[in-house]
């Protein structure tokens, strides 16, 4: 087995079939602690499905997943979050009527074991203040506009909402953070803001946090990741540093088959 102390996540021949479709097909990879890596691939190549397998949305058809040396292949989503795996979603997933602050606080509270009783009051006295500092700290790390923290999340700009989602994922204190197309739906000029936010997160947490980012636009991951894994039709067709991937013939061919995509 390839898991060692330095490997945070390890998948072995991970496979997911939906009927006759092999959405993820025999993917084996290792992610080192404290690294920032990316998975790219054309539309429908299995990127989100791979994340769904890691976070336990559904079980794999075959293969195994190890997190920090432990086999988590059959654990529930909740157990995986408790162990330190968190994610953001490709489609914005926030509580729109809650304030930005409240969205992060609820995420922090959700993982702390504090519960809300039938009156909607917190049983645990002092919980609000307990999370207050933590929320502000995380908001600052991802670069949320402090003047917009107390308005409903639905009313903040889309780029801020994407950063809010990263903040919510961080609030669960993960050691592995999976970001699914963090720049999805963004105007080109907003993209550097999200890249900066991710790089700031990485700097702030250092080796305590490992990041795996899914993107299907090569140019975004180029500035972000140390190593890139390329999926095509569920299979890993290449892996390597950004420069190598950019010049890889097989990758080029996979992307050229996808009319929506352009290489950077
Ligand atoms: N729950 C599901 N049930 C059936 N088929 C699914 C399911 N989830 C994904 N698929 C199929 O699996 C394949 C891979 O989908 P997936 O969403 O993982 O791709 P992706 O690489 O994330 O694509 P995109 O870049 O468009 O987000 C697609 O053909 C998709 O239609
Ligand atoms: Mg996807």
Mutate to test the pocket of ligand 1, among 19, 44, 217, 260 (most ligand atoms within 8 A of CB): 44
**What does the domain layout of the chain look like in residue ranges?**
1-84+209-264
Q: Whole-model pTM?
A: 0.89
For residues 107, 113, 118, 120, the Cα torsion angle rounded to the nearest 10 degrees is -40
Give the ligand at the shortest distance from the Cα of 49: 1
What is the pLDDT at residue 53?
98
Look at ligand 1, atom 18, and give the residue with the nearest C-alpha: 46
Mutate to test the pocket of ligand 1, among 24, 25, 38, 49 (most ligand atoms within 8 A of CB): 49
What is the pLDDT at residue 61?
98
What is the pLDDT at residue 128?
63
Mutate to test the pocket of ligand 1, among 19, 47, 216, 237 (most ligand atoms within 8 A of CB): 47
Look at ligand 1, atom 6, and give the residue with the nearest C-alpha: 18
pLDDT tens column, 209-218: 999 999 877 7
Look at ligand 1, atom 30, and give the residue with the nearest C-alpha: 44
pLDDT tens column, 166-185: 999 999 999 999 999 998 88
Q: Do residues 211 and 201 touch, judged by C-beta distance below 8 A?
A: yes
Model confidence at 35: pLDDT above 90 = yes
The number of CA neighbours under 13 Å toward the Cβ of 233 is: 8
Residue 47 Cβ inside 6 Å of ligand 1? The answer reads yes
Residue 89 alpha carbon to ligand 2 centre in Å: 9
Q: How far apart are CA 40 and CA 53, in angstroms?
A: 16
Model confidence at 152: pLDDT above 70 = yes
18: left (phi over 0), alpha (psi -120 to 50) or beta: beta
Homologous superfamily of the 1-84+209-264 domain (CATH): P-loop containing nucleotide triphosphate hydrolases (3.40.50.300)
pLDDT band at 255 (very low <50, low <70, confident <90, very high): confident
Contacts of 52 (CB under 8 A, 6+ apart): 16, 58
pLDDT tens column, 88-116: 887 778 999 999 999 999 998 876 654 44
């Amino acid at each position: 087995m390839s898991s060692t102390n330095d490997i945070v996540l390890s998948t072995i021949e991970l496979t997911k079939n939906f009927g006759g479709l092999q959405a993820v097909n025999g993917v084996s990879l290792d992610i080192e602690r404290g690294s920032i890596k990316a998975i790219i691939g054309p539309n429908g190549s299995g990127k989100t499905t791979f994340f769904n397998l890691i976070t336990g949305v559904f079980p794999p058809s075959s293969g195994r997943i190890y997190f920090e040396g432990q086999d988590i292949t059959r654990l529930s989503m909740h157990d995986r979050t408790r162990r330190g795996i968190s994610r953001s979603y490709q489609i914005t997933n926030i509580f729109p009527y809650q304030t930005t602050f409240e969205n992060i606080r609820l995420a922090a509270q959700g993982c702390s074991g504090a519960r809300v009783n039938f009156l909607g009051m917190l049983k645990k006295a002092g919980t609000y203040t307990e999370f207050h500092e933590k929320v502000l700290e995380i908001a600052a790390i991802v670069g949320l506009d402090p003047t917009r923290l107390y308005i409903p999340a639905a009313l903040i700009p889309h780029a801020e909402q994407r950063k809010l989602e990263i903040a919510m994922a961080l609030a669960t204190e993960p050691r592995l953070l999976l970001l699914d197309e963090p720049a999805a739906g963004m105007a080109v000029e907003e993209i550097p803001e999200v890249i900066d936010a991710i790089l700031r997160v990485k700097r702030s947490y250092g080796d305590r946090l490992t990041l795996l980012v899914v993107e299907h636009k090569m140019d975004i991951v180029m500035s972000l990741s140390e190593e890139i894994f390329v999926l095509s039709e569920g299979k890993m067709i290449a892996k390597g540093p950004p420069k190598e991937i950019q010049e890889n013939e097989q990758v080029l061919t996979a992307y050229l088959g996808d009319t929506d995509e352009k290489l950077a």
